[in-house]
C-alpha cells in the first residue's frame, strides 16, 4: 500500500512542524550533558511552546501592524519550505516543483526578513541592534549561500534538491569528489551561523551580544511562541537540507509506503543525531568570536565554496 | 607522457593530495598564530612527499622515492624544527598588524585561485582523457605561488615572510612532481639544500635583527640608518 502524494506532502510538513522542538531539546540537553550538568528535559521546548500559547499577548503601544503580522509570515514561510525539499521521500512530490533551491532560499530569507522588520518596528533599542546585527550577518552569509547553491547545481546540472540527492546516491565518485566535500564544509559553516550556534551567536541568550533574541525581545505570549517555533523549524529545515541533500543522502523512502515513511523518519532522526553531535562538539570547544571577527568563519565558508566551484570545473 | 594514461583512481589520489595541500596554504593565510603556519607547512610537506611517492609508484620512477624521503625529512622535519627554534627566540608569537585581515586575505586568496584556474585552463592544450589532472596540477601550482606572493606582500613578520617563500617553493615542487615527474634527481636535491640554506640564513638574520634592531617586523624597519 502506498500513500497518495498529497498525504506524503502533508506528512513532510507535519514532520518538520512536530519534530523541530525535539531537535532543539536534544541539542540543549546534550550540550549540558557534555558540561557534566543535567540539562533540561529533552521535551522542554514543547512545554515552553505550550506555556507560551496559553499566555496573554502584550503589544507595545508603538507597534504597528508589522508587529502582528511578522510572526505569522515567518511561521508560514517555514511551513512552505518543507514542501520544496526532500524530507521523507527522495522523489519529487507534485507540489515540490513550485520552487527550486533558489526559491526555497528566498522563502527562508523572507521569514528572517519579516523578523528583522518586526525588530525595527516597535522602536525598541535592542530590537534595532538585533536587526542591524542580523542584517550584517545576512550580508556576510548570503554570498556563501549563493555560491553553495551554484556549486551544487554545477555538480548536478540542475537546481532541484531531488536531482542532487539522486546524483549523490548514484555515483560515489561524485560524493567523494573534492568539489562535493568542499560544499559540505561550506554549508556546515552556514549551518552554524544560520542556526544561532557558537562561533558567532552567544550560547546564553538575553545578554549584550544577543542577535536573534534581541529582535524578538518585545514579543510575548502566542506571538513569541510562533517566532520560537519558526526558528526551531528553520533549524530543522537547514539540518534536513544538510543531511538529505549534502551529507547523508541515504535512508529515504522511495515508494512511499507507511512503513517506509516511518523508516525515513527514524533515519532522519539518526542523521540529525550525528550532525547535532558534531555541532555540539563545535559549540563546546569554540568560544564566541569578537564582533569584529564575525567575518572570519564566513570568509572561510566563502573560500570553501569558491574552491568547490573551481574543483567542480576540474572534473 | 605519464599523465596521458593515468587511471581514475590515480587521478583522484593525486588531486586529493594536491587539493589538501592547497587547503593547508589557506590555513597559513587565515591563521593569526605563527606556530600554526609552521604546523601547516610541515603537514603540507608530508603530503607533497606522499604525492611524489605515489607518482613514483604509479609512473615507475624509483628515484622519486628518494625525493619523497628527502622531502619528508627536510621540508617536513628539519625546516619546521629550525623555524620553531627561530619563533621560540622571537618575542612575536603572532601576526598582529597584518596589512590585510585574515578574512580579507582568505577572500582575496579565493579570487587568486580563480585567477590561477583561468590561466591554467588557457594553458591547457591537451585533449586526452586525464587533461583535468594537468589543469588541476597547474591550478594548484599557480595558486600556491600566488598565495605565497600574497603572504610575502601582506605579512610583515620575518618568519611569515620566509614561510611565504617556502609555500611558493612548495607549490612549484608540487606542480613539478605531477607534471614532469622525471625531473633529474640532482636538481631536486639542489633545491632542497637551497631551502635549507635559505632558512639557516634567515635564522641568522633574525638573530641579528633581534639583537640590533629589537624587532623582526618589516613595518618597523623602514628607516635608513647610516
Summarised one tens digit per residue, pLDDT across range A95-150 is: 777 888 888 888 988 998 998 998 888 888 888 888 888 888 888 888 888 889 88
Which residues of chain B does A178 touch, with a Cβ-Cβ cutoff of 8 Å? 15-16, 19
Closest CA to A307 of B155, B175, B15: B15
Distance CA A211, CA A127 (A): 9
Residue B143: the pLDDT is: 92
Beta-carbon separation of B114 and A310 below 8 A: yes
Q: Determine the distance in angstroms separating the CA of B20 from the nearest CA of chain A, rounded to an integer.
A: 9
Distance CA A37, CA A58 (A): 35
- Per-residue pLDDT band for B91 (boundaries 50, 70, 90) equals low
Averaged over B211-224, what is the pLDDT? 72
| Cβ-contact B121, B114 below 8 angstroms | no
Q: Determine the distance in angstroms separating the CA of A177 from the nearest CA of chain B, rounded to an integer.
A: 8
SS3 annotation, A128-160: HHHHHHHHHHHHHHHHHHHHHHHHHHHHHCCCC
pTM of the model as a whole: 0.85
Distance CA A231, CA A212 (A): 9
- Name the residue with higher pLDDT: A53 or A7: A53
B36: its cell numbers: 600554526
A167 pLDDT higher than 80: yes
| A25 DSSP assignment | H
| Cβ-contact B120, B135 below 8 angstroms | yes
| Cβ-contact A296, B30 below 8 angstroms | yes
B109 touching chain A per CB within 8 A? yes
What number is the ipTM of this complex? 0.79
Task: Name the β-bridge partners of A89.
Answer: A253
Distance CA A69, CA A92 (A): 32
Nearest chain B Cα to A305, which residue? B110
Which residues of chain B does A171 touch, with a Cβ-Cβ cutoff of 8 Å? none
| Cβ-contact B85, B162 below 8 angstroms | no
B123 touching chain A per CB within 8 A? no
Residue B95: the pLDDT is: 61
Distance CA A30, CA A37 (A): 10
Q: Which residues contact A16 (CB under 8 A, 6 or more apart)?
A: A78, A79, A82, A87, A233, A236, A237, A240
| Beta-carbon count within 10 A of A257 CB | 13
Residue A76: the pLDDT is: 93
Averaged over A44-53, what is the pLDDT? 91
- Name the residue with higher pLDDT: A75 or A264: A75
Handedness of CA A210, A216, A217, A223 (dihedral sign): negative
B129 pLDDT higher than 60: no
What pLDDT digit, counting tens, does each position of A213-229 carry?
Answer: 888 888 888 899 999 99
Nearest chain B Cα to A314, which residue? B132
Distance CA A258, CA A237 (A): 22
B184: its cell numbers: 633529474
Closest CA to A141 of A84, A201, A187, A88: A187
Residue B127: the pLDDT is: 60
Averaged over B110-120, what is the pLDDT? 89
Beta-carbon separation of A307 and B19 below 8 A: yes
Which residues of chain B does A140 touch, with a Cβ-Cβ cutoff of 8 Å? none
Distance CA A72, CA A120 (A): 17
Distance CA B26, CA B7 (A): 29
Distance CA A221, CA A226 (A): 9
Distance CA B162, CA B206 (A): 11
Which residues of chain A does B121 touch, with a Cβ-Cβ cutoff of 8 Å? 313
Closest CA to B83 of B161, B150, B156: B161
Distance CA A148, CA A124 (A): 35
B96 pLDDT higher than 70: no
Q: Which of B10, B14, B110 to mutate to test the interface with A (most CBs of A within 10 A)?
A: B110
Handedness of CA A166, A169, A170, A171 (dihedral sign): positive
Q: Which of B47, B106, B131 to mutate to test the interface with A (most CBs of A within 10 A)?
A: B106
Number of structural domains (chain A) is 1
Q: Which of A147, A150, A174, A178 to mutate to test the interface with B (most CBs of B within 10 A)?
A: A178
What pLDDT digit, counting tens, does each position of A273-291 carry?
Answer: 888 888 888 888 887 887 7
Nearest chain B Cα to A296, which residue? B103
Which residues of chain A does B15 touch, with a Cβ-Cβ cutoff of 8 Å? 178, 311, 314
Distance CA A288, CA A210 (A): 11
Averaged over B88-107, what is the pLDDT? 73
Residue A279: the pLDDT is: 87
B8 touching chain A per CB within 8 A? yes
Distance CA B166, CA B48 (A): 13
Backbone angles phi, psi at A290, to 5 degrees: -65, 160
Residue A46: the pLDDT is: 92
Averaged over B102-130, what is the pLDDT? 81
Domain that holds residue A57: 5-313
Distance CA A247, CA A256 (A): 22
Distance CA A168, CA A18 (A): 28
Residue A165: the pLDDT is: 83
Averaged over A234-261, what is the pLDDT? 83
Averaged over B131-157, what is the pLDDT? 85
B15 touching chain A per CB within 8 A? yes
Domain edges within chain B:
8-220
- Per-residue pLDDT band for B46 (boundaries 50, 70, 90) equals very high
Amino acid at each position: 500500500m502506498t500513500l497518495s502524494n498529497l498525504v506524503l506532502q502533508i506528512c513532510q510538513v507535519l514532520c518538520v512542524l512536530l519534530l523541530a522542538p525535539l531537535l532543539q531539546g536534544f541539542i540543549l540537553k546534550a550540550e549540558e550533558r557534555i558540561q557534566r550538568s543535567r540539562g533540561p528535559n529533552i521535551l522542554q521546548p514543547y512545554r515552553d511552546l505550550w506555556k507560551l500559547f496559553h499566555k496573554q499577548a502584550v503589544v507595545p503601544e508603538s507597534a504597528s501592524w508589522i508587529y502582528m503580522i511578522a510572526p505569522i509570515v515567518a511561521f508560514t514561510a517555514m511551513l512552505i519550505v518543507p514542501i520544496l525539499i526532500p524530507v521523507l521521500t527522495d522523489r519529487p512530490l507534485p507540489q515540490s516543483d513550485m520552487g527550486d533551491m533558489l526559491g526555497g532560499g528566498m522563502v527562508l530569507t523572507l521569514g528572517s526578513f519579516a523578523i528583522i522588520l518586526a525588530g525595527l518596528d516597535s522602536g525598541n533599542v535592542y530590537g534595532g541592534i538585533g536587526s542591524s546585527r542580523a542584517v550584517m550577518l545576512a550580508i556576510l552569509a548570503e554570498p556563501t549561500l549563493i555560491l553553495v547553491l551554484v556549486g551544487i547545481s554545477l555538480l548536478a546540472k540542475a537546481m532541484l534538491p531531488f536531482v542532487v540527492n539522486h546524483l549523490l546516491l548514484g555515483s560515489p565518485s561524485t560524493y567523494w569528489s573534492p568539489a562535493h566535500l568542499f560544499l559540505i564544509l561550506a554549508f556546515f559553516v552556514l549551518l552554524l551561523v544560520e542556526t544561532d550556534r557558537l562561533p558567532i551567536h552567544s550560547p546564553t541568550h538575553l545578554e549584550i551580544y544577543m542577535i536573534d533574541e534581541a529582535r524578538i525581545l518585545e514579543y510575548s505570549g502566542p506571538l513569541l511562541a510562533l517566532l520560537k517555533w519558526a526558528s526551531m523549524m528553520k533549524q530543522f529545515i537547514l539540518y534536513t537540507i544538510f543531511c538529505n541533500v549534502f551529507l547523508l543522502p541515504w535512508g529515504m523512502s522511495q515508494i512511499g509506503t507507511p512503513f517506509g515513511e516511518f523508516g525515513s523518519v527514524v533515519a532522519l532522526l539518526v542523521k540529525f543525531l550525528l550532525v547535532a553531535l558534531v555541532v555540539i562538539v563545535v559549540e563546546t570547544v569554540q568560544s564566541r568570536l569578537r564582533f569584529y571577527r564575525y567575518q572570519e568563519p564566513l570568509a572561510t565558508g566563502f573560500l570553501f565554496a569558491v574552491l568547490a566551484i573551481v574543483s567542480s570545473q576540474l572534473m | 607522457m605519464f599523465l596521458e594514461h593515468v587511471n581514475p583512481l590515480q587521478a583522484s589520489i593525486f588531486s586529493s593530495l594536491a587539493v589538501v595541500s592547497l587547503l593547508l596554504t589557506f590555513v597559513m593565510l587565515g591563521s593569526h598564530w605563527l606556530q600554526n603556519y609552521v604546523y601547516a607547512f610541515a603537514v603540507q610537506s608530508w603530503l607533497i612527499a606522499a604525492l611524489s611517492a605515489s607518482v613514483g609508484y604509479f609512473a615507475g620512477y624509483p628515484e622519486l622515492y628518494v625525493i619523497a624521503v628527502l622531502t619528508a625529512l627536510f621540508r617536513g622535519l628539519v625546516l619546521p624544527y629550525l623555524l620553531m627554534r627561530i619563533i621560540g627566540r622571537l618575542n612575536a608569537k603572532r601576526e598582529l598588524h597584518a596589512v590585510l585581515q585574515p578574512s580579507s586575505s582568505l577572500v582575496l586568496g579565493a579570487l587568486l585561485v580563480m585567477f590561477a584556474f583561468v590561466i591554467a585552463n588557457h594553458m591547457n592544450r591537451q585533449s586526452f582523457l586525464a587533461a583535468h589532472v594537468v589543469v588541476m596540477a597547474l591550478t594548484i601550482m599557480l595558486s600556491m605561488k600566488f598565495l605565497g606572493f600574497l603572504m610575502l606582500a601582506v605579512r610583515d613578520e620575518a618568519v611569515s615572510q620566509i614561510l611565504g617563500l617556502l609555500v611558493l617553493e612548495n607549490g612549484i615542487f608540487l606542480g613539478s612532481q605531477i607534471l614532469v615527474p622525471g625531473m633529474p634527481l640532482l636538481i631536486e636535491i639542489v633545491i632542497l639544500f637551497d631551502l635549507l640554506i635559505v632558512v639557516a640564513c634567515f635564522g641568522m638574520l633574525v638573530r641579528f635583527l633581534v639583537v640590533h634592531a629589537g624587532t623582526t617586523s618589516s613595518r618597523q624597519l623602514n628607516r635608513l640608518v647610516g
